[in-house]
Structure 1
Amino acid sequence: MSANPFTQLIFDLFILSAIIISAYTVNFYYLAFLSRRRKGVMPTVDLGTPSVTIQLPIYNEKYVAKRLVDAVCNLDYPKDQLNIMILDDSDDDTVELLENVVNDYKKQGFAIEHIRRGTRKGYKAGALKYAMEITTSEYVAIFDADFIPPTSFLKQAIPHFSKPNIGLIQCRWGHVNENYSTITQVQALSLDFHFLIEQKAKSNSHLFMNFNGTAGIWRRDCIEDAGGWHTATLVEDLDLSYRAQMKGWKCVFLPDIVIDAELPAQMNGAKRQQYRWAKGSIQCATKLLFDIVVKRKVAIEAKIQAFIQLTRHIVFPLILIQFLTLPILLAGQVNLYVVSFLPVITLATYLAMGPGAYILIMQSMYGKSWKSKMKIMPALLIYNAGMSVNNTVAVFDAVLGKKNEFLRTPKYGLISKDDDWKDKAYNLPFTQTTLLEIFFGVYGIMGIFIAIFSNNPIFVPIIALQTIGFFFIAYLSISHTRFRRNKSKNAIPLTKKEKTANNIYKLAMLGIVAIIVFGGYMAISGYNTEIYPLDRIRGNLDGIISSS
């Protein structure tokens, strides 16, 4: 390999990123091992029917709010021991809808309250904090608006508070609209990995696990002892659960109690959710990691796993670094094969560390149905690759301390494939991040040309996978925006902002075609010249660096 400073810097970045990504990947396999090997039988005790308050934080959820309230009021639990708080911060017709629903259930004898704070200060965390000031029940269950708890939920979950130090019972998320589209299928698979591998392993191994913000029951004393709900991060659930465990409370995951929920069907909604989770995790890392590290009562393994969970989203910037540096190294004729005379080992290693290992994991997760789930795996790889831009922006926003409003993920009451969301309210437009995704997609096409014409075709599938991911996410972000409604029956006038976005989209498409044509021409013609054009550019950069 050339020893010039520029190439060395790029190579070092590439290798360092690969090492860190591999470390996080290996840890996931370790958790998969723990989820299978450390199986604990969770004891239960007969606690009778203690008082329970169910808190339902809601903001502009007119399509699913009634469904949630109906499900909660249908729970098999004594009315005199059940208090329902609808924490409604809405500013649309959800308010009137909930008023009518609450009045109907009050007439039926339910202890149900429609609580209006008159402000969105603190957003969801602020609403939960406000509700705790007027909550007297021993246990507090929380559901987001799109969840549908089964009638037996409380009677199944409450007995698992078998020890006084158990502060949280977290149940598994189900997916009421899993088969609605490819987007919902890949999200369902990704969430199943989280619950059936990560949450299960940590719950059974005395490691820090997180509350997922919904589908769980808290012991009220635990919330108060941990300091209550904080509004400093976008993931108040992760924040509180970690603070509780630092205080010595135990969080338990119950994989056999499944609470159905609606997955985002619109790409821009899915990206918003991923952004919030990624940024919030880094915010919690900044807020909590030092205290976790210096806490003597926290085991070393628990500290390591807490560090990995809170910082794992840094993998996405590292993925982009690898994506950007690989074509440069290939153009510079840097040998990246594991064994130079047998490049197939490189692909074999990649498959063993990535998709290949997931086959074994999915067999243990789904049993006989693993093959049907495995069909979704290629789409999940493409989805995760494309989502790396969105999540990288979130990581940088968190590191730089950028303040954001808590932006909820809109839901539309989707269950069957016949349900349509495109003509409904809450339709989100694409953002500037989409233009970045297009840029990375174009860069990937140029990278494919470089891999081919530098005699490194083995790297084409790796670059192509990410390139497809960027274009896939960008395309759906744009096509799912209001002005691109495919099935709308009634034409809706475009706003000025939407017209501007439409024009930007058209110009971007023209630019993409021009860059692809120009890049292909330069790659082919440059390959036949004495000096490869990218080598010349790299040489100029090396000269600038050396002379400075």
Structure 2
Amino acid sequence: MVMYGPGTFLYVIFLVIAWVTMFYTLNFYYLAIQSRHNESHERRRRQVPELPLAMLPTVTVQLPLYNEKYVARRLIDAVCRMDYPKNKMQVQVLDDSDDDTVDLIRSIVDEYRFKGFDIVHVRRADRSGYKAGALKAGMKTAKGEFIAIFDADFIPPSSFLKHLLRYFSDPKMGFVQCKWGHVNEDYSTMTQAQAVSLDLHFLVEQKAKSLSRIFLNFNGTAGIWRTSCINDAGGWQTSTLVEDMDLSYRAQMKGWKCMFLDDYVVDAELPVQMNAAKRQQFRWAKGSIQVALKLLADVVAHRKVPVESKVQSFIHMTRHIAHPLFLAQFLIFPMLLSMDYRLYESNWAPLFVLAMYAALGPGGYLVVINKVWKKDWKHKGMQFLFLHFFGAGISVNNSVAVFDALFGRKSEFLRTPKFGIVKKGEDWRNKEYALPFTKTTLLEIFFALYGCISIFVAIFSNNALFTPLIAMPTIGFIYVAYLSIAHSQLGKKKRIKSEKTGAVVVQQAAPLAPVQRTAGQRLLLPSVLAFLVLGAGVAYYGYYTSIYPLQEASGFLARAQTAQTPQQLADYVRLAQGFIPESGNPVWVFPTYRTDFEIIHMQLDSMVARSGALSSLSPHDEGYNAALLDMHSGALEIQANLHEAIPYIYVSPQNIAFGAAWVGVILSVFAAMKHARTRHQRAETASAVQT
């Protein structure tokens, strides 16, 4: 089928995105093959003996913390329980907190200092550089030949230092990274999705790179660095949100080696709130692109870096580009279907891509999961289903992060809140640090609504085969958007600073109830939901009255192209005319006669008249077949003109104006909600201070 106008452009973009996505997917399977169990390597690694007590080096354990009242003690207790000589272990609690975590940490540090531990509570005047700045400041007073780092949500085992330090017998070993465990993996479907995602990263990507001597990254925590390696590589730098990845690549370009231990696990707490998980994903996505902009050219140009490491570095640094590409493909797909771009009839390329999606998408991942987890693969396979929804929904959040990085937008290092949640059923709802949903949630709602409409587009355009491909990510958008809002509408504690004493008092929000919300404030959120439903209804009505008729007309014109008699052709043409507007031209940018509905009607009227004249001729007449074929070609040309017109209806001035007004109203309601919440909090604060 020959296509003209924007349809061809969208089709090419769709295919390019499909091939790029397949490239990243195939690389994952390549790493899965590389990560196969290497017996000789494992034997050599296990033969490394533990260092004798007299040879144990001095180690500095750095604990960068910021407002971690629920997990600070758990972390410091675990570190101080590690089986290592006190006189050879320095503990730095790098505390940038600005809440009552400061007093909590101070008391814990004093407690362990009294017990004979070399532990210090490091405070800075400000949070400049955030985590990287804290680590950099700690390096100034670090005593150790090696630096162990743990984020607040980790629980290192007692054997950690002795187990890892044995691998630094090679003087060029720069850092050793451990696999992360998950103490709250089964807390919810969201934590299960995060768990299997991280496990695949460690057990496939990190393991493969470690075995193949490909550049790999330090994951920011649960590992040990050689101090001289950090200094030689330029130290901790604050130009990106992923200082760990940044330093990893700089160190390896300097010739330092690294190792990943897949069989030694350090447990950690997964985010249990959707908005916290999104914040973490945002930081990782944006930081990776920042590192790509900063270091990728240097890695590629470095003569001593092997080609395979260059390729894998490119893929690793840029892999989050897949998120905006996925969204672009999600937007384009229903447009192609509405233009009757039947991918399974066009040519071998889209059919091949769809087959690869089916085989190398869920199917391929399940094969990898089966090989990695063996007996437990069914449980992990179910978690992968949750990951499929979570990954699709989180793509909006991560796409914003990618564009933030590409456009050089500076942003604060926003930590991931932890609530000390370990067991299923434990509640975090009445704890501090719970995050509100952001404007990104509005985009997630948009994509959810777009997906719902796209399902109808697929069905009405006789492409129901593709409905599952649209429905799966749509469920993901709904899932993430719903949890983003649901996890925000929770009672949280309020931190109130007394004007008289300056002390920080933590109180429940519920007891401070004398200030009541007005009826208008209570109606704000239902108003948003109602307006979203209204927008979806208007969009569906617009599709049904403007685009669907042209698709029906296109269908009848397709039948006219196969008509065996002039009368049959005329009947199909008349049916098509009934669905085409009498006048107007939807192409408002450089319009042409091809998409002028009045001219199209004239062409169809002429075709009907020719059919009547042709009916008087004998089918055996010399000009009969030539005339019938000519009218078939005319029907094909008019059908192509309708396909050219359809995309412009989607982006008509009226639709753009309505969409802008719709988004504007929702943003206004969100602003009103924020303003009302601010006023409410001020009133609560004033009431609390008075009491």
Q: TM-score scaled to structure 1, two decimals?
A: 0.93
Q: 1:491 to 1:10 in 2, by over 3 A?
A: farther
Decide which moves more: 499-508 or 313-322: 499-508
Describe the SS at the equivalent of 2:176.
strand
Instruction: Say if 2:188 is the partner of 1:184.
Output: no
Letter in 2 for 1:261: A
Residue matched to 1:322: 329
Distance 2:592 2:524 in 1: 40
> Secondary structure at the residue paired with 2:331?
helix
323 and 58 in structure 1: CA distance in 2 versus 1, 3 angstrom threshold:
same
Matched residue, 2:247 = 240
| Contact 1:87 1:114 (8 Å CA) reproduced | yes
- For residues 473-513 of structure 1, the C-alpha deviation after alignment (integer angstroms, 9 at most, x for no partner) is 0000000004478xx99466699999999866433321232
Find the aligned partners of 2:139 and 2:32 in 1 and give their Cα distance.
36
1:109-165 CA-partner distances (Å, limit 9, x unpaired) = 000001111210000000000111111211110000110001111111111113111
Write the deviation string for residues 252-271 of structure 1: whole angstroms up to 9, x where unpaired. Answer: 00011100000000000000
Call closer, same or farther: CA 1:214–1:58 in 2, change over 3 Å: same
Distance 1:156 1:347 in 2: 47
- Matches of 1:246 and 1:415, distance apart in 2: 39
Aligned to 1:160: 167
SS at match of 2:36: helix
Report whether the alignment pairs 1:149 with 2:153.
no
Map 1:31-430 to 2 at 5 A. 31-36=31-36, 40-41=41-42, 42=45, 44-48=48-52, 49-337=56-344, 348-430=355-437
How far apart in 2 are the matches of 1:127 and 1:159?
27
Higher relative contact order (CA 8 A, sep 6+): 1
Deviations 1:196-246, CA, capped at 9 Å, x for gaps: 000000011011100000000000010000000000000000000110000
Q: CA deviation at 1:339?
A: 7.6
Aligned: 1:544 with 2:581: no
Per the alignment, residue 15 of structure 1 pairs with: 15
- Cα deviation per residue 1:454-482 (whole Å; 9 max; x = unaligned)? 01011100111111111110000000004
Instruction: Give, in angstroms, the shift of residue 251 of structure 1.
Output: 1.2
The structure 1 residue matched to 2:474, chosen from 467, 470, 489, is 467
**Identity of matched residues, %:** 52
- Checking the alignment, whether the CA contact within 8 Å between 1:83 and 1:112 is kept in structure 2 is yes
> Which residue in 1 is equivalent to 2:567?
none
Q: Match for residue 27 of structure 1?
A: 27
Contact 2:60 2:89 in 1 (8 A): yes
Amino acid at match of 1:517: G
Question: 1:445 & 1:531 partners in 2: Cα distance?
Answer: 19
My pick for the range that moved more, 472-481 or 528-537, is 528-537
Equivalents in 1 of 2:340, 2:550: separation in Å? 15
Is the CA contact (8 Å cut-off) linking 1:4 and 1:542 kept in structure 2?
no
CA RMSD of aligned residues (A): 2.8
Q: Give the partner amino acid of 1:402.
A: R
Q: Is the 8 A contact 2:391 2:476 kept in 1?
A: yes
CA distance in 1, matches of 2:290, 2:517: 31
Instruction: Decide whether the 8 Å contact of 2:550 with 2:580 is kept in 1.
Output: no
Contact 1:453–1:523 (CA under 8 A) maintained in structure 2 = no
Which SS does the other structure have where 1:3 is aligned?
coil
| Residues 439 and 72 of structure 1: CA distance in aligned 2, closer, same or farther (over 3 Å) | same
Name the SS of the counterpart of 2:57 in structure 1.
coil
| Structure-1 separation of matches of 2:104 and 2:258 | 35
- Asked whether the 8 Å contact 2:278–2:397 carries over to 1, the reply is yes
Contact persistence 1:453–1:524 (CA under 8 A): no
Which structure 2 residues correspond to residues 523-534 of structure 1 after superposition, within 5 A? 523=543, 529=549
What SS class does the counterpart of residue 526 from structure 2 fall into? helix
Deviation at residue 12 of structure 1 after TM alignment:
1.3
The answer for unaligned runs of 5 or more in structure 2 is 493-507, 555-578, 594-691
Change (3 A) 1:500 1:294: farther
Residue 528 of structure 2 corresponds to which residue in structure 1? 508
C-alpha distance in 2, partners of 1:166/1:287? Answer: 24
For residue 195 of structure 1, what is the amino acid of its counterpart? F
Q: Which runs of 5+ in 1 are unaligned?
A: none
Q: Contact conserved, 1:5 with 1:542, CA < 8 A, in 2? A: no
Provide the secondary structure at the position in 2 that maps to 1:36: coil
- Residue type of the alignment partner of 2:589: I
Task: Provide Cα deviations, 1:165-186, integer angstroms capped at 9, x if missing partner.
Answer: 1100100000011011111110
Are 1:483 and 1:494, in contact at CA under 8 Å, matched by a contact in 2? no
Output the CA distance in 2 between the equivalents of 1:153 and 1:172: 12
Q: CA deviation at 1:517?
A: 3.0
Asked if 1:481 corresponds to 2:526, the answer is no
Report the residue type matching 2:533 in the other structure.
V
Task: Quote the offset at 1:360 in angstroms.
Answer: 1.3
- Partner SS state of residue 152, structure 2: coil
Match of 2:571 in 1: none
Residues 1:458 and 2:465 are matched in the alignment: yes
Equivalent AA in structure 2 for residue 44 of structure 1: V
Is the contact made by 2:193 and 2:384 (CA closer than 8 Å) also made in structure 1?
A: yes
Query: What is the distance in 1 between the residues matched to 2:314 and 2:63?
Result: 31
CA contact (8 A) 2:235 2:247 kept: yes
Amino acid at match of 1:5: G
User: Do 2:338 and 2:551's aligned partners in 1 also have CA atoms closer than 8 Å?
Assistant: no
Amino acid paired to 1:267? M
CA contact (8 A) 1:85 1:112 kept: yes
The CA distance in 2 between the partners of 1:336 and 1:81, in whole Å, is 66
How far is 1:544 from its partner? Answer: 2.1
What is the distance in 2 between the residues matched to 1:451 and 1:492?
A: 52
CA distance in 2, matches of 1:6, 1:379: 36
Secondary structure of the corresponding residue to residue 105 of structure 2:
helix
**Is the Cα–Cα contact under 8 Å of residues 340 and 461 in structure 2 kept in the other structure?**
yes
On the 8 A contact 1:44/1:161 being kept in 2, the answer is: no
How far does the alpha carbon of each residue in 1:314-340 deviate from its partner, in whole angstroms, 9 at most, with x for none? 000000000000111001001212787
Counterpart Cα distance in 1 of 2:129 and 2:268: 24
Contact 1:6 1:542 in 2 (8 A): no
Cα distance per residue 1:29-75 (max 9 Å; x no partner): 10101001656222524433211110000000000000000000000
Structure 2: distance between partners of 1:456 and 1:221: 61
1:530 positional shift: 5.6
CA, structure 1 residues 177+493, in 2 after alignment: closer, same or farther (shift >3 Å)? farther
In structure 2, what is the Cα distance between the partners aligned to 1:62 and 1:504?
33
What amino acid sits opposite 2:35 in the alignment? S
Change (3 A) 1:463 1:536: farther
Measured at CA, do residues 34 and 505 of structure 1 come closer, stay the same or move farther in structure 2, by a change above 3 Å? farther
1:536 and 1:545, CA in 2 relative to 1: closer, same or farther beyond 3 A? farther
Specify the SS of the correspondent of 1:44: coil
Higher mean C-alpha displacement, 37-46 vs 78-87: 37-46
